Structure 1
Amino acid sequence: MTLGRYDYERRYRRRMWTGVGKFGLLLVLLLGVGLFSYQMGIEQLKGRDVTLREENAALSRQKAEYELLASQMQHAARVAEAKAAELEHRLQREVPTGDLARLTHLVAERLKAGLDANRLAFVIQQAQIPRNCQQPETKRFSLATPLLKGGTRSVSFTNGTVTVAGEGQSSRDAQGNAESWFDPTQPVTIRITGIGGKGTTVSGVLPLHQSLVIDNTEYRFTFVAGQRSFVDVTADRCPFP
């Protein structure tokens, strides 16, 4: 009786410890699987964090590039607007309108038709607001040249109140030899002298214009090339001022 009960208790204890061992083994296994899963989760989280950081960095770089591009485009737009405003202002300032446009068109037509630009400029310069002036007087005189210096080479107006004289460069023939008369394509010098020694000088290629005021009278002269060796001079006398 005692032996049988001993065997039963020993077998019971053995089965109990075996169950405890199995449970412990299962618990260890479960803890290992849990720790492994936990570690894998941590590694995945670390990997995702690295990926998110890289994506965030890439997005930040793209944002900076887009902001720089937007700034450059805004600057380019402001520059373009400024240039457009400048061109519009220049267009309004330089392109003739109204009466000036009509006159510009007429001048262009005359030049296209072959009218000499100097002649056209002379006509325009002669167009002035009417003043209480005397009837213009036109005379001629010959210009002195290096080969033609002697004799009287002047002309006077208003009973000798004003005297006009001048000199130019000698014209040349086909062989290049100097001639007595002046060359109208070369600059000339015209001297205007009034009573009492008051005078003025004008130089350049004809036609030329010059004024001189003597005793409350303004003498306005226009010089153009006349027949060979001569200059035609027209004098206007107007009250001054």
Structure 2
Amino acid sequence: MTLGRYDYERRYRRRVWTGVAKFGALAGVVLGVGLFAYQMGIEQLKGRDVTLREEIATLSRQKAEFELLASQMQQAARTAESRTAELEGRIQREVPTGDLARLSQLVAERLKSGLTAERLSFIIGQAQMQRNCQPAENKRFVLATPLLKSGARGTTFANGAVTVSGDGQSAHNTQGDPESWYDPGQPVTIKITAIGGKTVTASGTLPLHQSLVVDSTEYRFTFAPGQRSFVDVAADRCAYP
């Protein structure tokens, strides 16, 4: 009986120690796997840290480059704005406007037509505020229309030196039929002719203004609607220039 109990206890202890050994081996394996995984995790974190640091350095360089580019662009924009303001001021100072623009265009046209700069300079230099003019002549003449073309249609000034004539559109009665007299609300054409054939025209709705220079005299005409069929004319004759 004693021997059987001893064998039982010994087998029991052996099983216990075997279990402990298996548990220890299993624990060692688990611990080893854990340590290996931990080490791998540490290495991965180190690698990720290096990668992140490199990305941060790259982004920092790019940020510095962008900031420098933005600064250069802002400087360029300020320079362009300053240049634009300078050009606008120069344009306002140097490009003629209003009456000066019209005079500049007229001078350009006269130069293009063949008139010399010396002649233009002389004429402009001779112009004065006070002009030497004779009293105005006031006359009237019948304006020709499609239904009124026969006979003399016009008048003369300066003892026949200048002839004025013209034509217009027929007026219409209440039935819409054309009349022989002109319609003052429609455009007309006035022709001014000097002895020798020099001619200028004025076209548009009355009143109209036109000038004609003959030798050393300037004739300035104002045309306005008169009584039926008539155009009233006021003519100034002044020394030129």
TM range (shorter): 0.5 to 0.7
Counterpart residue number, 2:6: none
Q: 1:143-158 to 2 correspondence within 5 Å?
A: 143-158=143-158
Residue number in structure 1 paired with 2:212: 212
Shift of 1:60: 1.4
Name the counterpart of 2:194: 194
Letter in 2 for 1:52: R
Distance 1:236 1:182 in 2: 25
Write the distance in 2 (CA, Å) between the matches of 1:75 and 1:173: 71
Aligned to 2:59: 58
1:1-241 equivalence runs, <5 A: 48-85=49-86, 129-241=129-241
Equivalent position of 1:119 in the other structure: none
What SS is found at the alignment partner of 2:135?
coil
Aligned to 1:148, the other structure's residue is in SS state coil
C-alpha distance in 2 between matches for 1:215 and 1:181? 36
Deviation per residue, 1:162-207 (Å, 9 max, x gap): 2211111112234432122212232211122223444333322222
* Residue identity in the other structure for 2:61: S
TM-score normalised over the length of structure 2: 0.58
Q: CA separation in 2, counterparts of 1:239 and 1:91? A: 36
For residues 147 and 49 of structure 1, the distance between their equivalents in structure 2, rounded to whole angstroms, comes to 104
Q: Secondary structure at the match of 1:130?
A: coil
Q: Which residue of 2 aligns with 1:115?
A: none
Deviation at 1:45, TM superposition (A): 6.7
Note the C-alpha offset of 1:59: 0.9
What are structure 1's unaligned runs of at least 5 residues?
1-38, 97-127
Query: For residue 143 of structure 2, what is the amino acid of its counterpart?
Result: L
Deviation of 1:227 (Å)? 2.6
C-alpha separation in 2, matches of 1:48 and 1:165: 101
The CA deviation at 1:83 is 4.7
The equivalent residue for 1:8 is none
Percent of paired sites with the same residue:
51
Q: CA deviation at 1:79?
A: 4.0
Tell me the CA shift for residue 85 of structure 1: 4.8
SS in structure 1 of the partner of residue 63 of structure 2: helix
Q: Residue deviations 1:59-83, cap 9 Å, x none?
A: 1122233233333333443444445
Q: How many residues align?
A: 171
Residue identity opposite 2:231 in structure 1:
V
TM-score (norm 1): 0.58
Unpaired stretches in structure 2, ≥5 consecutive residues: 1-38, 98-127
CA distance in 2, matches of 1:130, 1:53: 87
What CA distance in whole angstroms lies between the structure 2 residues aligned with 1:68 and 1:220? 66
